[in-house]
Chains A and B, each alone.
Chain A
Amino acid sequence: MSALLEVQDLRVWFENRERQTRAVDAVSFSIERGETFALLGESGCGKSVTALSLLRLLPPAARIVSGSVKFKGEDLLALPEIAMRGLRGSSIAMIFQEPMTSLNPVLSVGTQIGEPVAQHRHLSGKQLKRRVLDLLDAVGIPDPMRVMDAYPHQLSGGMKQRVMIAIALACEPALLIADEPTTALDVTIQAQVLELLRELQRKNGMALLFITHDLGVVAEMAHRVGVMYAGEIVEMAARETFFQTPRHPYSQKLFDSVPRLDKRGQALAMIPGSVPRLDSAFTGCRFASRCEFAWQRCRVETPRWTVLENGGARCHLVEQGSSVEPQAPVLTLETRHQAPENGAATLLEVSELTVHFPIRKGFLQRVVGAVKAVDGVSLNIPAGRTVALVGESGCGKTTVGKGLLQLLPLTSGSVRFAGQELTTLPKSQLRPLRGALQIVFQDPFASLDPRMVVADILEEGMRALDVGKSPLERARRIDQLLDEVGLAPESKYRYPHEFSGGQRQRIAIARALAVNPKLIVCDEPTSALDVSVQAQILNLLRGLQATHQLSYLFITHNISVVEYLAHEVAVMYLGRIVEYGPVEAVLSAPKHPYTQALLSAVPLIEKETGREVIRLQGELPSPAQPPNGCHFHPRCPHAMPVCAQRYPGESAFGAGHVARCFLYG
C-alpha cells in the first residue's frame, strides 16, 4: 500500500437508450509518489475518461460500473461528494488540453489562480496575493505583477498554459493529472512547458499522470508508460524497457508508424483498419482484427494480463513467452516513379508574396496598420516534388498556402504557375486553372459539407470545372477516385459524419484529385489524426505523388513528417522564410538559429546523448508589429547589434541551401 494512487479494475460505461459504450474496461494501474506515469493511446481509447473518473468529473451519461480508485489508501469512489470537493484541486489537480477554453475570459488571471488557494488554504488579502505572485513566479512567467491583473485574452497560448499549471499547483497537489497539456502548443512552447513540469515535479515531488498520444513526449517525460487500446491497458512498462523492447504488437506498430528520416523512400508501417467501436461486445483480443500476428486463439480467447518486470502486457504472444520480432515494414510502394531529382522544371514560382490584413479603427474604419501575415515570401515548387513549409502557428504558413491559390486577396507579389501569372488574371480566366491547384485542409471534420453525400462532394469540383462530360463518366471517375484513396465504392452514398477522421481525410484528398491537379497544398493534413492513421495518409500521399506526378506544398509544424516526406523544406518565421534548402541539408545541418532551436525542441523517441536543447525565450511576436531588423533577434541566442538594425540578406551554403542570418555574412 505504498503507491500514492492505485486504480483497480476500473470500468466506466457510457449509457443511453440505444447503446452502451464501454469507454474504460477493467483498467488497473498505480502511481508512486514523485513518479510520472504516462498513459499513451490514440483518440477514443478511453485515456481522458480514465483521468476524469479519478476526479469523479465524468459527464452525466457516464457511469463508473465497478472498480476502486485508492488515493493515499482512501477509496475515492466511495467518498461523499463534499469530501471529494475538498480533494479536487488541493490533493489532486488537473490541467486540460486546450488552454484557450480552460480559463474564464471575464476574470483576471490573479483571481483565477487565487480561487483554489482561497478555497482550500483559506488565505485572503495580502497573503493570498503573495501566494499568487509566488505561483506565477514558480511557473516562470515574467513580470508576475502585471500578469496577475491581466485577462486571459491578453496572454498567448503558452502563457495561458503556464497559468493553468499555476492554478493546478496552487495547493501543492500530491498528484497532477495532465491531459494532453502540450498538444495545442507549438514545439518550442511545448519544450518550455515540458521542462517546467519536470522542474516542478523535481521541486515538489508530486506524482504526474501524463496523458498523451505523442510518443516523443512520453520519451521525454515518463518514468513508466501504460499503453491504452480500446478501453484497456494493453501494455505497461518502465520507459527504458518500453522504448527498447515494446512487447505488445500494438505498441510496436505505433513505433513503426512514426515517420522518420531513416524511413524515407519506404512505406510507413500502418495499422490496417481503425479502432473498434466500444459499444460492441468483444470476444477475444480487441486488437486481433488489426494485428498481423493474430491467430485463431486471439479471436476467441481474451488474453490475460501477463505480469512482466515493472509492468505487463495483454497478449497471447507475451503469455506464451515468445516475443515477436519487430518486422521491417513490407514495402508496398511502387518505386518506379521516383520523384525527379534536383533541377526538375519549376511548376509554381512565388516571388515576393505579401499578404497584409488591414487593421481598421474608429468610426470611419480608417486603416491604421496592417497585420503582416506574409511579408515577402519567395518559393519555387518543382514539378513532382514536395516542398515543406515549416513554422510555428501564427507564422503565416497557412496564409501562404491560401494566397498562392488566390483564395485570399494578395497585397503584392507574383505567383506564376507553369509560366502564367496568376495574380493579374481575371476571375473567368483563373477558373480553368483552379483544377491544377488544389488544397487539402487540416481539419477533416470542417472540410467536408455535412449535408452532402460523398459522391456529391467529389462531383462538385468536377462539375464546376467541367471534368468528365456526362454524369455517367463522372460517376465512373468517382468510383475510380474512391478506389485510389482506399475507400469502398459503397461509401459514395454516405454522409461525412459516418466516417472516421482518417477516412474523411481520404475523401478530402479524393476531392482534390478529382480535378486532375498538378499541385496540392496540404495544410497540416495529418495534424488532427492519430499516429497510425497519419501513417496511412502519408503513405497514400506518397503513392499518389508517384503515380500522378503531383507536387505538394506541405504545410506543417511536425518535423518528423517533413523528414519523411519532403524533398525541400522552407522554414518560416513571422511572415518570412528564414531558411530554405534540401531536406537533408536543412535538417542535418540547420544554419539559422531559429531552425536550430525548432529542431532541438522536437521531442525525440531515441534519447540522443549530448543533444542540447536550445530553449527559446518568449514567444512569437505579433505580426502587426514585427521587431525591427531581423524578426528573430529578440529571441535569438546569438543576437548581435546589427540584427536589430537591418534585415539580413541571403547566405548560400551550396545545393540550394540558403539562410537569412548575419552569422554567415
Chain B
Amino acid sequence: MKLVFLQTDILIYCLLLVIGLYIWRARGKAHLAAPWRKVARRPAAMASAMVLLAFVIVGLLDSVHFREPLSNQKPGVTEYSLEIVSLLDKLLTPLRKHNEKTYSAPLATRLFAMETIEQPDGRIARAYPRLQYGGAELGATPKGYARDIGRLTLKGTLLALLLWLALTTALSTWLTQHRNLGWRALWRGEAELPWRAILFTLGVLLWLVCVTWAIAPHYHLLGTDKVGQDVLYQALKSIRTGLVIGTLTTLVMLPFALWLGVMAGYFKGWVDDVIQYIYTTLNSIPGVLLIAAAVLMMQVYMDIHKDAYNSITERADVRLLLLCLILGVTSWTGLCRLLRGETLKLTEMEYVQAAQAFGVSHWKIMSRHILPNVMHIVLITVTLDFSALVLAEAVLAYVGVGVDPTMNSWGNMINSARLELAREPLVWWPLAAAFVFMFALVLAANLFADAVRDAFDPRAE
C-alpha cells in the first residue's frame, strides 16, 4: 500500500492541526473556553454537533488516499495500481464494485427500465431485467423479498441497539466514577451537558448506520444512477467534497479578510481608503459571473497542461482546490468589512492606547490586542458561512462551473437530476439522496452556528 497525499488532503490535515491547537489553547484560557461551554450546554447544538461529527468522520475517512499494490506482482518489484482509493472506498468496496447496468429504484431487485431480453428458452421478451447485485441471493425470480429486507433491517436494528446500550453504559459508568453523576441524574438531564439529546442523536445515527451496514451489501439502498453506480456510495463520497468546499474556502478567505480588515481599521487614512476601494469594487461585480469567468479560465489552463497530473483523481482534486481558492478570493469582503468596523471601535479602546503609550509596535498591537478581540466575529462568520458555501457548490455545479464532473458532489448529482426529472417515469432518488444529505449537513451546521453565535456574541449577554 502506498499513501498518496492529494493537495486538499494536506490542507485538511493542516486544518485539523489548527483546530487541535485551538482546542489545546482554549482549554487553558477561561475566556476562550467559557463560550464553548455555553455552546455545549445547548441540546440542539450538541445534537447537531453529533450529526456534523458523523459527516466529518466520513469526510476524514475519505481523505486518507493510497494506491493498492497490483494483484499480479512480479517477484521483487512491487507495482501499484494507478487508481487512487481512500479508506472510505475500501470500507465501501461492495458499494463501489456493485455496478448495475443503469437506473434501478431504491431496494429494487430489477432494473427501472424495460429491456428486450432473451429468455432461457430462446424466446425474446420485453421485461424488467434482474439486477446483477440487488438481492442477488434471492435467485433469478426473487422470492421472499419482503422477508429478506425485514430480516436485514432487524439485524441492523438489533446491532444498533446493542452498540447504543454498550456506549450508554460505558458513558454512565464513566460519569458516575469521574463526575459523581448517577445514571438517574443523567436521565433527568441534571448533568451539565445535555446527555439525553446527545445519546438520542447517537441512537438515531447508530440505527441509520447499522441498518445501512446490514442492507447495503445486498441491495442498493438508494438505488443506482444512469450508469448503474450506487447512489448511496455517490452521496457518501460527496460528503468530502462538501466539507472541503465549506472549510478550505474559509481557510483561503481568512488571511485576506483578517489582515485587510484589521489593517484598514487600525491604520485608517489612505490604507483604509485603498482597502475599502478594493472590496467595494470586488463586491460590485456579480459573484457568480466572477466565479464562472475564473473557473473557465482555470479549465482552459488545465486542459493545456494535461500531462501535469498523474490521474483523473489528482486532476479533479486540483480543480476542487482551485474552486475553493476562487470562492475564497471572491467571498472575503463581507467578513473584511465586519472586521474593519470592529477594529475601528477597538483602536479607540483605552487598552490599545495604553499599549501605544508603552511604544509597543503596530504589528504587536494588532496581533496581541486587536486580533484576539475580533476572533469571536471570525468564528461566528466562519460557522455561518460554512453552510452557505456548501449550498453555493450546488448552485455552481448547476450552472456548470462547479467541481470536476468526474468528482462526486451533491452539486453534480443535482445537476444530472435535471434530465432525470424530465423523463417519464421520473427518476427521483439521486436528487432525493443529494437533497437529504445536503439538508442534514446544512441544517446541522446552521443550528450549530446559531448556538455559536449566541455564545460568542458579546451583546447577547
Contacts and interface: CB of A to CB of B under 8 A. Distances in A.
B359 A439 contact: no
A515 B357 CA distance: 11
Contacts of A457: 351
B460 interface: no
A519 to B, nearest CB: 12
A430 interface: yes
Contacts of B372: 449, 451-452
Contacts of B354: 439, 441, 447, 508, 511
Given A443-B350, A497-B31, 19 more contacts: A402-B353, A437-B357, A438-B357, A439-B357, A441-B350, A441-B354, A442-B350, A450-B31, A450-B373, A451-B372, A451-B373, A452-B368, A460-B355, A460-B368, A461-B358, A464-B361, A465-B359, A495-B30, A515-B358
15 contacts: A441-B353, A441-B354, A442-B350, A447-B349, A447-B354, A449-B351, A449-B368, A451-B372, A452-B368, A457-B351, A460-B355, A460-B368, A464-B359, A465-B359, A495-B30
Contacts of B351: 446-449, 457
A451 B359 contact: no
Interface string B365-379: 000110011000000
B360 interface: yes
Contacts of B369: 449
Interface in B16-43: 30-31
Interface string A256-287: 00000000000000000000000000000000
Contacts of A464: 355, 358-361, 364
Contacts of A430: 359
A450 B30 CA distance: 11
A165 B351 CA distance: 36
Contacts of A407: 353, 356-357
B31 A495 contact: yes
Interface in A509-532: 511, 515
Contact of A434 (B31, B349, B357, B368): B357
A646 interface: no
A463 to B, nearest CB: 8
Interface residues of A, number: 30
Nearest to A514: B358
Nearest to B361: A464
Nearest to A497: B31
Given A447-B351, A450-B373, A451-B373, A460 B358 contact: yes
Contacts of B357: 405, 407, 434, 437-439
A446 B356 contact: no
A503 to B, nearest CB: 16
Interface in A216-265: none
Q: Is the interface of B mostly helix, strand, loop or mixed?
A: helix
Contact of A431 (B359, B364, B373): B359
A382 to B, nearest CB: 22
A434 B356 CA distance: 9
A464 B362 CA distance: 12
Return the 4 tightest CB-CB contacts between A and B, nearest first: A447-B350, A431-B359, A461-B358, A441-B350
A549 to B, nearest CB: 20
Contacts of B358: 434-435, 460-461, 464-465, 515
Contact of B360 (A402, A441, A460): A460
B29 to A, nearest CB: 8
Nearest to B352: A449
B367 to A, nearest CB: 12
Nearest to A496: B351
A405 B350 CA distance: 14
A452 B369 CA distance: 9
A449 B373 contact: yes
Nearest to B372: A451
A450 B356 CA distance: 17
Contacts of B373: 449-451
Contacts of A450: 31, 373
Contacts of B359: 430-431, 434, 464-465
B431 to A, nearest CB: 44
A446 B372 CA distance: 15
A449 B368 CA distance: 9
B261 to A, nearest CB: 18
Contacts of B355: 460-461, 464
A457 B360 CA distance: 12
A448 B369 CA distance: 10
Contacts of B350: 441-443, 446-447
A430 B31 CA distance: 35
B163 to A, nearest CB: 33
Interface string A421-433: 0000000001100
Interface string A197-229: 000000000000000000000000000000000
Given A449-B373, A465-B358, A465-B359, A439 B353 contact: yes
Contacts of A435: 358
Interface string B385-423: 000000000000000000000000000000000000000
B266 to A, nearest CB: 15
A495 B29 CA distance: 9
Contacts of A431: 359
Which of B31, B349, B354 is packed against the most chain A CB atoms within 10 Å?
A: B354
Contacts of B31: 450-451, 495, 497
A457 B350 CA distance: 13
Contacts of A434: 357-359
A461 B351 CA distance: 12
Contacts of B356: 407
Nearest to A402: B353
A457 B31 CA distance: 15
B311 to A, nearest CB: 47
A415 B274 CA distance: 34
A402 B357 CA distance: 9
